[in-house]
């Protein structure tokens, strides 16, 4: 039995890419309603919010889009 094409691709793709799309901070801020960089910083430093942690590739931060969307959905339900 041969591996499917998607199984073949996952062997060489970074785990974050296989798990879903990763987005830059700029795209994250837009996704969260156009928040400022300072608001993002506050969310990251407020432990009670449980905001998704970034993935660092070099010195750049990225987020898993699925984690951010799940966090936004949970906040909507709680409100």
Yes or no: say if 60 and 16 are a contact pair by the CB < 8 Å rule. Answer: no
If one counts every other C-beta atom within 10 angstroms of the C-beta of residue 61, the result is: 17
- 39-53 mean pLDDT: 97
pTM, two decimals, is 0.71
Q: At residue 72, does pLDDT exceed 60?
A: yes
**Domain locations in the chain as residue ranges:** 20-78
Yes or no: say if 39 and 79 are a contact pair by the CB < 8 Å rule. Answer: no
8-state DSSP, 24: E
The end-to-end CA distance of the chain, in Å, is 50
- pLDDT tens column, 20-37: 899 999 999 999 999 999
pLDDT band with cut points at 50, 70 and 90 for residue 9: very low
Smallest Cα–Cα separation from 32: which of 18, 49, 14, 20? 49
Which CATH number does the domain 20-78 belong to among 1.10.287, 1.10.10, 1.10.1660, 2.60.40? 1.10.1660
């Amino acid at each position: 039995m041969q591996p499917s094409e998607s199984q073949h691709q996952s062997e060489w793709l970074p785990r974050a890419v296989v798990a879903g799309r990763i987005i830059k901070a700029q795209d994250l801020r837009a996704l969260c309603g156009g928040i400022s960089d300072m608001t993002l910083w506050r969310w990251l430093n407020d432990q009670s919010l449980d905001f998704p942690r970034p993935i660092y590739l070099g010195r750049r931060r990225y987020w898993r889009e699925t984690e951010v969307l799940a966090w936004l959905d949970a906040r909507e339900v709680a409100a």
